[in-house]
Amino acid sequence: MDSSLADPTLYSIKAILVMDNDGARLVSKYFDKSFPTIKEQKTFERNLFNKTHRANAEIVMFEGLTCVYRSSVDLFFYVVGSSNENELLLMSVLNCLFDSVSQMLRKNVEKKMLLDKLDSVFLAIDEICDGGILLESDPNTVVSRAAVKQDDIPLGEQTVSQVLSIAKEQIGWSILK
């Protein structure tokens, strides 16, 4: 048996990152001890961004890790796995993250909107991955689990039934007071 092959494991994701177009960290979640300190994490992020921000590829081998990435307007999304990790698995995590964020931000995937909904983005990441183990790869399921409250949806984007149910609830609470 070849000793260079690692034993199979569920811990396939080492990190999920979102950076702006200057390489500054917006969201980062590390799932193992590869980069134990903030300084090491920031150095890794800076070097990764410098290698990928001008490239047109979707995947790169970097510092012994497999990194898949995607850019949109002024954001870069990264999913990092070990060097022997399946790129298709990492890409499915990346696509799920991007599609979930896109749905939550109403297709307006840019830095300002992401920062406005940062709590929902962290919830989505937690729904996708727990401790490096992939939990969900369907963006619709992720968005429904990390659902935004009805009150956060502008009135013009709510359906009539949503508006009526909110009105009933508010009337009910005002009668009980």
pLDDT tens digits along 106-139: 887 888 888 888 888 888 898 899 888 888 888 8
Same domain, 26 and 87: yes
Same domain, 100 and 157: no
> Going by C-beta distance under 8 Å and a sequence separation of 6 or more, which residues neighbour residue 174?
none
For residue 63, the enclosing domain spans 15-146
Question: Per residue in 109-118, pLDDT tens?
Answer: 888 888 888 8
126 forms beta bridges with none
Q: Indicate whether 132 belongs to any domain.
A: yes
- If asked whether residues 131 and 113 sit together in one domain, one would say yes
Q: What is the pLDDT of residues 13-59, one digit of tens each?
A: 999 999 988 888 999 999 988 888 999 999 999 999 998 888 777 88
**Under 8 Å CB-to-CB from 145, ≥6 apart: which residues?**
123, 127, 136
CB 128 within 8 A of CB 86: no
Q: Do residues 68 and 120 both lie within one domain? A: yes
